[in-house]
Amino acid sequence: MNGGEAGGGGGEMEEDRGAAAEDEMMEEEEEGRAREKSVLMWGYLPGMSPQRSPLLYPVAVRMPDSAAGDRWMDVSGGGCGFAMAISESDKLFTWGSTDDMGQSYVTSGKHEETPEVFHLPTEVPIVTAAAGWAHCVAVTANGEVYTWGWKECVPTGRIVREQSYSGGNSENEERHSGSLSDQVSPKLQGSRIGGVVSGFDTGCGEKNSKRRRLSSAKVEPENKASSEETLSALPCLVTLDTGVRIVSVAAGGRHTLALSDVGQVWGWGYGGEGQLGLGSRMRNVSSPHPIPCVESASFSRDQPSPATQGKQSLDGLAYKCMGSCVKAIACGGRHSAAVTDTGALLTFGWGLHGQCGQGSTNDQLSPKCVSSLLGVKIHEVAAGLWHTICTSVDGSVFSFGGNQFGQLGTGSDQAETLPKLLDAPCLENKSAKQVSCGARHSAMMTGDGQVFCWGWNKYGQLGLGDAIDRNIPSLVPINNYQPKNMQLK
């Protein structure tokens, strides 16, 4: 349930073409006595079609012949123009990229129409993975985390702070990375990879990837591949505190969240809009940092955490309802969300379109309870580029944020700064089991195995057989399959 970031300005539409227009779904086929898991996908994956044409309907993805005897186990989404899934042999597969996708082609392992194993420097089984726009993160069976892709998304051991914040993303902004005050606490340092990358574009679509290639070609014009690879970090082990075991991860535009087995959230990457929940605008948090979502024994009792500050403003109710640990996380393009064990929803980060659900368009620099949902026990949350969707334990769906393409499913194109209940006629007597967000489209899976999609559909990413946007949930025609999991990008 990962959202992502296509950058800022007029380039976002084109960038979304390769970054957020594929849907993937894990299904279980039931024909005769066979019960074999399959991966279905639809939308735009450039490497899957010689003509670069979108897949307007769900299409099954074949396991490569080289993996004879292996089977699909789970889908893991994908990044800018590529897809990922995990097999029953606990291997991570990628496919769908093309050689002119620039950075993402390197990040995804240069695998085109046929899924291929993406090798990580570990023999431990991979149990889950996620991808942002051009970076990836995977979790092993023993709770270790590996990440790769854009160098600014891969931990380096330092925090880079902006001297001031103007809301822009200038490549010439002054950065400070050498002073002790800019360092992460010593116990969080020592990442396996070093160096701070500067001068990055904020998008990953055609316009920006071309600009990157032209820029790097001035340095190494004789070798385009190597110049592109200078933008990427190879898979490396993320250094966390001793004893920390990660169970799930989420990847946004340029930031990553990881959830431990005790319900602690860790974050790293770009944090200029507060999406890392550390109480300030950190341009680059280059080492995993604990995010104070709830108060617990792991936080100092002498100094209040950002999550506890201001709790009195809601007469103590909001914080009391927040719980003792986090159970679910999601990353949008530049915002984040978390669900606590008591079913409270917390949001933080970019708020320009109301995607934090706080009733305003202000950025949220620290995790804050969505107070309008305090009477609802939230089960799951997903985040897109400009919007957020969550489900309650009783199967209701709430959406808020940007709605330019109908991605909220409310029947209009009006943005919502507060959560709004989806009450489309087609959902009557339906209970939501899972939700997922692409950049500008959304999906839900019901308890009876149906899949509904809505939002932007220029590249067939709704799987409805056409390229027409929908502003209400629409049933995806899936025959002979029983959905088990789904991921949008």
Please state at what angle helix 206-217 crosses helix 12-19, rounded to 10 degrees.
Answer: 90
Given a cut of 50, whether residue 64 has pLDDT beyond it is yes
pLDDT higher at 376 or 227 = 376
**Euclidean distance between CA atoms 450 and 433, whole angstroms:** 10
Mean pLDDT, range 342-348, rounded to an integer: 97
Mean pLDDT, range 28-51, rounded to an integer: 68
Q: Confidence class of residue 380 from pLDDT cuts 50, 70 and 90?
A: very high
Q: What is the 3-state secondary structure (H, E, C) of 381-444?
A: EEECCCEEEEEECCCCEEEEECCCCCCCCCCCCCCEEEEEECCCHHHCCCCEEEEEECCCEEEE
Q: What is the 3-state secondary structure (H, E, C) of 277-295?
A: CCCCCEEEEEEEEEECCCC
Domain membership flag for residue 4: no
Given a cut of 80, whether residue 333 has pLDDT beyond it is yes
Q: Confidence class of residue 321 from pLDDT cuts 50, 70 and 90?
A: low
Domain membership flag for residue 121: yes
Domain membership flag for residue 1: no
CA pseudo-torsion sign 160, 165, 167, 170: negative
3-state secondary structure of 123: coil
Read off the tokens for 322.
């927040």
* Residues 15 and 209: beta-carbon distance below 8 Å: no
CA distances from 216 to 91, 148, 223 (A): 33, 20, 10
For residue range 387-422, list pLDDT tens digits in order: 999 999 999 999 999 999 999 999 999 999 999 999
Mean pLDDT, range 343-357, rounded to an integer: 98
Question: What's the farthest any 2 CA atoms get from each other in the chain?
Answer: 66
* Residues 49 and 76: beta-carbon distance below 8 Å: no
Given a cut of 70, whether residue 174 has pLDDT beyond it is no
Domain membership flag for residue 187: yes
Chain-centroid distance of CA 133 in Å reads 8
The number of distinct structural domains making up the chain is 1
Read off the tokens for 447.
């308890």
Q: Residue 465's pLDDT is what?
A: 95
Domain of residue 136, residue span: 9-488
For residue range 251-285, list pLDDT tens digits in order: 999 999 999 999 999 999 999 999 999 999 988 89
Domain membership flag for residue 112: yes
**Euclidean distance between CA atoms 85 and 78, whole angstroms:** 8
Per-residue DSSP letters for 66-79?
A: GGTT--EEEEEE--
**CATH code of the domain containing 295:** 2.130.10.30
Domain membership flag for residue 97: yes
Domain membership flag for residue 464: yes
